[in-house]
């Protein structure tokens, strides 16, 4: 990878299998994103260093503006782009001191509240009195206590390619989980699929996540869903006997690794590519799921796509849209509301097949409930685990009833 910031226009040819759905020929895709300059910004007089030399980092520039004051520049991979202004950097100092770091955004505005960690694994929110959001200037000034230990600062906990690969690999040791590589990203990362449950079952559930790189709370939701599905309980064991769940936990590994705000290496929002399928990642995920769904007597039941946005919300079809199983979404969210009366359930029902979302494509293709399961950018991890664990159990109950009818 280059060590100078530049716009990269590299033709990358992909030899993909012909689509069983559309029969379209593979096409060449170009990288059209601004690569960060991977480096350490050294300020010897202050004895402070900022760096972006790790997976998931986003730091495009850094200057010293005072004795212990620094200005950081955050830019997107390309424009136009959704305002998902991700940032992640690491800072150290020769001796303990307090510094300020002002985040300035080129092409966006502040969205994610800062989280900090001394090991890159255990995270906590930066205290509210330690950052100031200037909405007029669209800057955020962080007050950080630094020393010789690396301090990671990011818009959310870093759950990236390595963490997801490790998590999936551990789960794949279970006898009822099989993991396979269904394709490669533009930069060669494997795109993996987990098959959970009875491989001979005709009853299918489809689950994907992380089309958008910063959406870590969506990954937390997906991990909880899979954990509950894989539990040694009477309900989960019965569900796995009757159903096969296909899970693609990381659709956009390039974007996650590069610290992108939204896009893949071609500068495309993958969750707007489920109509034309011009990107290799969406094509390969689609083809793998369709191949499994093409087996005789297969019955798809449900599609879930885990995401993050500003608040918890379920994007669904309207109840008037016919689905199999009938009235599943209404009954599921009703059961969830009864189980968690203190949890506000927000639902937006619509269907527009022209938008290119995964939700729209799966509904058009299979007429099954197709749901974008969104968690808030800052929803507490324990709340995500509690709500998703309960919602997964309610899903299993309803689908088992539907499979018997």
Domain ranges of the chain: 34-154, 161-404
- Rounded CA gap, 389 and 370, in Å? 19
Question: Does residue 83 come out as left (phi exceeding 0), alpha (psi in the -120 to 50 range) or beta?
Answer: beta
* pLDDT class of 27 with cuts at 50, 70, 90: low
Cis peptide before 403 (omega within 30 of 0): no
- Rounded CA gap, 77 and 32, in Å? 8
- Asked whether this chain's domains 34-154 and 161-404 adopt the same fold, the reply is no
pLDDT of res. 17: 33
pLDDT of res. 22: 40
The residues, ordered by sequence, that sit 6+ positions from 277 with a Cβ below 8 Å of its Cβ are 19, 22, 24, 283, 286
| Whole-structure pTM value | 0.93
* pLDDT class of 29 with cuts at 50, 70, 90: confident
Q: How many CA atoms lie within 13 A of 53 on its CB side?
A: 11
Over 50: is that where the pLDDT of 84 sits? yes
pLDDT of res. 285: 98
Over 90: is that where the pLDDT of 14 sits? no
Q: Give me the architecture of the 161-404 domain, per CATH.
A: 3-Layer(aba) Sandwich (3.40)
Mean pLDDT of the chain: 93
Which residue from 348, 54, 393 is spatially nearest to 227, judged by alpha carbons? 393
The residues, ordered by sequence, that sit 6+ positions from 375 with a Cβ below 8 Å of its Cβ are 217, 218, 220, 221, 306, 307, 308, 309, 312, 384
Query: pLDDT digits over 185-205, tens only?
Result: 999 999 999 999 999 999 999
pLDDT of res. 367: 98
pLDDT of res. 25: 46
Q: Give me the architecture of the 34-154 domain, per CATH.
A: Sandwich (2.60)
For the chain, the first-to-last Cα distance in angstroms comes to 55
- Rounded CA gap, 146 and 94, in Å? 9
Look at the block and give the residue holding tokens 């600062």.
Answer: 153
Query: pLDDT digits over 288-312, tens only?
Result: 999 999 999 999 999 999 999 999 9
Apex 73 CA angle, 71 and 79, nearest 5: 160
Query: What's the burial of 134, exposed, middle or buried (CB within 10 Å: 0-12/13-18/19+)?
Result: exposed
């Amino acid at each position: 990878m280059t060590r100078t910031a530049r716009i990269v226009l590299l033709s990358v040819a992909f030899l993909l299998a012909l689509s069983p759905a559309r029969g379209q020929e593979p096409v060449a895709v170009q990288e059209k994103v601004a690569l960060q300059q991977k480096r350490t910004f050294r300020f010897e007089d202050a004895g402070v260093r900022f760096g972006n030399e790790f997976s998931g980092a986003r730091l495009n520039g850094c200057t010293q503006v005072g004795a212990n004051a620094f200005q950081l520049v955050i830019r997107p991979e390309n424009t136009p782009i959704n305002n998902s202004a991700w940032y992640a950097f690491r800072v150290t100092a020769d001796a303990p001191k307090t510094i300020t770091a002002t985040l300035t955004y080129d092409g966006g505005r502040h969205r994610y509240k800062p989280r900090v960690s001394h090991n890159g694994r255990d995270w906590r929110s930066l205290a509210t009195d330690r950052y100031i959001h200037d909405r007029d200037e669209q800057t955020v000034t962080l007050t950080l206590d630094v020393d010789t230990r690396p301090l990671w600062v990011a818009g959310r906990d870093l759950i990236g390619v390595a963490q997801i690969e490790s998590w999936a690999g551990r789960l794949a040791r279970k006898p009822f989980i099989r993991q396979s590589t269904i394709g490669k990203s533009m930069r060669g990362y494997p795109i993996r699929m987990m098959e959970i449950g009875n491989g001979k079952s005709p009853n299918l559930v489809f689950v994907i996540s992380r089309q958008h790189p910063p959406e870590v709370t969506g990954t937390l939701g997906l991990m909880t869903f899979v954990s509950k599905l894989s539990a040694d309980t009477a309900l989960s064991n019965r569900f796995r006997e009757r159903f096969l769940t296909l899970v693609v936990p990381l659709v956009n590994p390039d974007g996650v690794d590069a610290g992108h705000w939204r896009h893949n290496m071609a500068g495309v929002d993958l969750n707007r590519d489920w109509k034309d399928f011009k990107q290799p990642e969406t094509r390969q995920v689609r083809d793998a799921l369709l191949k499994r769904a093409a087996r005789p007597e297969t019955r798809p039941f449900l599609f879930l796509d885990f995401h993050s946005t500003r608040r918890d919300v379920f994007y669904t079809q309207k109840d008037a849209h016919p689905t199999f199983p009938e009235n599943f979404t209404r009954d599921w969210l009703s059961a969830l509301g009864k189980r968690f009366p203190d949890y506000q359930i927000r639902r937006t029902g619509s269907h527009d097949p022209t938008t290119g979302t995964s939700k729209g494509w799966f509904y058009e293709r299979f007429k099954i409930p197709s749901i974008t399961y969104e968690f808030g950018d800052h929803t507490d991890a324990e709340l995500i685990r509690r709500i998703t664990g309960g919602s997964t159990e309610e899903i299993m109950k309803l689908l088992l009833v539907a499979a018997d009818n």
